Amino acid sequence: MEYRATIYALLHIPALIVTLAAIPFIWSRRNVPGLVYLVWMEIAGAAWIAAAGLEMAAATVPLKFFWSAVCYLGTLTVPVFLLLFAVEYAQPHNHWGWRRIVPLFIVPVLTWIVVFTEDLRPLNWPSLSVDPQTNIGVYGHGPWFWVAVTYIYGLVVAALVVLSARLIRLRAYFRRQIAIFALAAVFPILGNLLYLTGLNPIRGMEWTPISFGLMSVVLGWGALQGAAFKLVPVAHERLLDSMAESVLVLDSQGCVADLNLAAERAFGRACRDVVGKPAQEVLGASDAVNGLLQSDEEQRLELSLTGGEAPRVFATRISPLRDRRGRLTGRLLVLHDVTGYKRLEQEREELIQGLQEALAQVKTLRGLLPICANCKRIRDDQGYWHSVESYISEHSDVDFSHGICPDCARKLYPELYGEETDSEQED
């Protein structure tokens, strides 16, 4: 038989299942910087686990050498993708181009040449013996093996240093995110240390592929719970707590990723109570807010918020945050408090309206007018008498147009109406 289904080989099956199951959850957050590299790391890890399980089941030395060489396709690419993820996740503005990525594969390619070439293979594995009881291969380690191990650990340490440096500068919420990645990376390291040191409980057992499955469990849990894979704030260093403007950073899903002290005061809520909440919940759900948050272009809007001590009005500007590839990674929301300006504007409008009403009052005749009972002229405040027309025109916006009423017309022009005058009646 060329393969034996031992318990040690079967242990790789659940590790492979959880690794493959974690990929869709991580892929759902692919808009977050660096997550594409993490997906590739999981794919490489799955291939590594599958090949390791077949190597563990292989019953002949040539098959064990072959599957061990196939394992190296994943073993040496996983740390490369881990470093690329760490750099882009912790420093979204520092995207590595192909000129910096290609050199990372020099040692892996040389190692693949060594392990797949029969004449060069002793540089990595000078010997191999198979335990007949467990079917586990016990490999001797040549000089190139330690070159590859040193390179792998160098990449892993570099990735952890990048994440740790970012961890120190971030608030507690983001520290939780990066702590999840650090915890996940610990499992393969511990598994590999068990294999390389004398602490291995089972001689020759390679625990690293199985422990990679535990790493995938942690990453999948983080993606499912939303505790990880949030936007690490691109502009975090610029969000000075002394800024007068309220600043919020939203992730690609429209949830609050960070805010400054001015925003905490404006909303009347602490950072820990706001971060991770949908922006509609913080700003208030409305068509205007929904349109603002769904736009991929810079938008401006005036918002009225009721949080804090009293209602406040903000001139709001939202700008998209993109990585160097042009992918949307989040949004930056800046709210400028214009409550004072709005209050002054309202007072000005009220003053203008009051003056207009006062002006209308000036041109309106009110109270008692002294008028002559005979000639009908009106006396002003200085004692002068004016005709009705001149007085009213002076004290109002009225203009007169003259005519003759029917009664006066009959009296002045009786002949036009066939009536006799008083002298004609006497004759």
The DSSP annotation for 156-190 comes to HHHHHHHHHHHHHHS-HHHHHHHHHHHHHHHHHHH
* Same domain as 276, residue 383: no
Q: For the range 118-121, what are the long-range contacts, defined as Cβ-Cβ under 8 Å and sequence gap of 24 or more?
A: 121/65, 121/69
Count how many domains the chain has: 3
Rounded Cα–Cα distance for residues 232 and 320 (Å): 14
**Element housing 214 (H / E):** helix 208-225
Q: Are residue 241 and residue 206 in the same domain, yes or no?
A: no
pTM: 0.59
The last residue of one of the domains, among 167, 190, 225, is 225
- Residue 216 shares a structural domain with residue 104: yes
Name 385's bridge partners.
379
pLDDT of residue 263: 76
Closest CA to 232 of 86, 132, 390: 86
Q: Residue 392: which residues within 8 A CB-CB, separation 6 or more?
A: 365, 398, 400
Question: Which domain-ending residue is among 289, 318, 341?
Answer: 341
- Residue 281 maps to a domain: yes
Q: Looking at the structure, do residues 169 and 20 belong to the same domain, yes or no? A: yes
Q: Are residues 211 and 248 in the same domain?
A: no
- 240 and 186 fall within a common domain: no
Burial, 21: exposed, middle or buried (Cβ in 10 Å; 0-12, 13-18, 19+)?
A: middle
Please give the pLDDT value at position 372.
81
Query: Looking at 225, 245, 279, which one is the last position of a domain?
Result: 225
CA torsion 61-67-73-78 (nearest 10°) is -100
Q: Are residues 155 and 31 in the same domain?
A: yes
Q: Is 203 helix (H, G, I), strand (E, B) or coil?
A: coil
**pLDDT tens digits in sequence order for the chain, 427 residues long:** 688 888 988 988 998 998 898 888 778 776 677 788 888 988 999 999 999 999 999 989 999 999 999 999 999 999 999 899 888 877 665 667 788 889 999 999 999 999 999 999 999 999 999 888 888 988 999 999 999 999 999 998 888 888 777 666 555 555 666 677 777 778 888 888 888 887 888 888 888 888 888 888 777 776 655 544 554 444 454 445 556 777 777 877 778 877 777 777 777 777 667 777 787 777 776 666 777 777 777 777 777 766 555 667 777 788 887 766 677 777 877 877 777 777 788 788 888 887 777 666 555 555 666 878 777 787 877 777 888 777 777 767 677 777 778 878 777 777 777 655 555 555 5
* Residue 393 sits in the same domain as residue 282: no
**Residue 404 is assigned to a structural domain of this protein:** yes
Residue 313: give its domain's CATH number: 3.30.450.20
Looking at the fold, whether 27 and 53 belong to one and the same domain comes out as: yes
Burial of 423 (0-12, 13-18, 19+ CB in 10 A): exposed
The number of helix segments (H) and strand segments (E) in the chain equals: 18, 9
Domain annotation covers residue 55: yes
The boundaries of the domain holding residue 302 are 236-341
- Give the per-residue pLDDT at 194: 85
Q: How far apart are CA 132 and CA 6, in angstroms?
A: 11
How remote is the C-alpha of 377 from its chain's centroid?
80
